[in-house]
Structure 1
Amino acid sequence: MAELTYPQIGLTRELLRDGPESVAGWPGGNQRVFERIEVGCGAESFGRLSSGILDWGIQEAAGLRPRAEGPAVLGARVVCGFGVGPIRLPVPCEVVWSERGERFSGFGYGTLTGHPARGEEAFAAELDEADRVWFSVLAFSRPRPGIYTLAAPVSRLMQRFVTRKYLVAARALAE
């Protein structure tokens, strides 16, 4: 059975809770991603975004074609296909934390054996006190040893590309 491939399991939740600007919290030697954007207003918008996050809508809208047996709950496994058309690299992950609340919802998943990287990525919806809806994506990762290390520059470009797609997807889901 595939295993998680990194030691900082659940760190994305801590970084979201404690503030990703805390440099001390990020694991050294990893590529870091943090984007937070306002995507809507009110409880309905928050509910749509929360559902889209926890039901893999963010990945689907980003073109990753997630295959999972259910929503993003603790322990759920998903394989996203990254690529173009039928040519896809399978990227297996496991949900390491998941929350659904009135003001905060989201999940983080970690890389499993077979993933081209090692690390964790999180997606969150937040309804602030001013009724604004925020979407956050936060990740840390490094290439898996071997050929993937050689492809690290391409991997970083692809991560930025997919992150932009997540931001677009979050705006659409919150509408």
Structure 2
Amino acid sequence: MADESDAPPFTYPETGATSREFPAGYHHFRLRRRIGAGRDLFESAAEQVLTYRMQRGAGIFGSASTPSATPGTALTVRLGIGPLAITAPCRVVYVLNEPDRRGFAYGTLPGHPEIGEELFAVDYDPTDDSVHGLVAAFSRPGTWYTRLGGPVTRRLQHYMAGKYVDAIRPA
């Protein structure tokens, strides 16, 4: 991992806001979907989330500077298809390591077509033994083509969130 003092700045000032109330001026998105039950599933899914399984399973993982998410990890995702795909840089803002919730959030860096932050997590509800995948984000267009994409871009975000959660669902 590069020295953070040499790292490019995030493209938004509200760094870490996926852990609290989302800031105004952005599109807000949350998907929480049940993937199964049991503490063993939670532990397995948590490990998968922290090792980028959501991104890999959705087919957008590019690279990461660490094998599992840690604050400051630089990573890239590939958005688009074939020669139209772009490499979008991100950096891990924080990691969740709570007894019943694990995951990480990354924020956009210069060169990413969106501006904002996205959380990828799994949580366990001890009251009913259920396990849920969670994707939450606040974002706004960062380029002319994402502004032009408007509603299509938002539908794509919803579709990809479902793919992220499906990537950690047991077979």
**Farther off after superposition, 156-165 or 80-89:** 80-89
Q: How many residues align?
A: 163
Question: One-letter code of the match for 1:170?
Answer: I
- Map 1:23-102 to 2 at 5 A: 25-70=21-66, 71-85=68-82, 87-102=84-99
Residue among 93, 111, 133 paired with 1:114:
111
Question: SS at 2:167's partner residue?
Answer: helix
Question: One-letter code of the match for 2:135?
Answer: V
Alpha-carbon distance in structure 2 between the residues aligned to 1:168 and 1:33: 17
Matched, 1:151 2:149: yes
Q: 1:2 — aligned with what?
A: 8
Q: Work out whether residues 50 and 100 of structure 1, in 8 Å CA contact, stay in contact via their aligned partners in 2.
A: no
Q: 1:105 — aligned with what?
A: 102
TM-score with structure 1 length normalisation?
0.85
Once the two structures are TM-superposed, the CA of residue 86 in structure 1 deviates from its matched residue by 5.3
- Offset from partner CA, 1:99-140 (integer Å, 9 cap, x none): 234321111110000000100000111111232112111001
Question: SS at 1:60's partner residue?
Answer: helix
Alpha-carbon distance in structure 1 between the residues aligned to 2:132 and 2:157: 21
Once the two structures are TM-superposed, the CA of residue 149 in structure 1 deviates from its matched residue by 1.9
Question: One-letter code of the match for 1:141?
Answer: S
Alpha-carbon distance in structure 2 between the residues aligned to 1:2 and 1:154: 29
Once the two structures are TM-superposed, the CA of residue 69 in structure 1 deviates from its matched residue by 2.1
Alpha-carbon distance in structure 1 between the residues aligned to 2:80 and 2:144: 20
Q: 2:134 — aligned with what?
A: 136
- Offset from partner CA, 1:15-66 (integer Å, 9 cap, x none): xxxxxxxxxx332231111011111211210011101110000000011023
Q: Work out whether residues 52 and 61 of structure 2, in 8 Å CA contact, stay in contact via their aligned partners in 1.
A: no
What is the root-mean-square deviation in Å for CA atoms of aligned residues? Answer: 1.7
Unaligned runs of 5+ in 1: 15-24
Question: SS at 1:113's partner residue?
Answer: coil
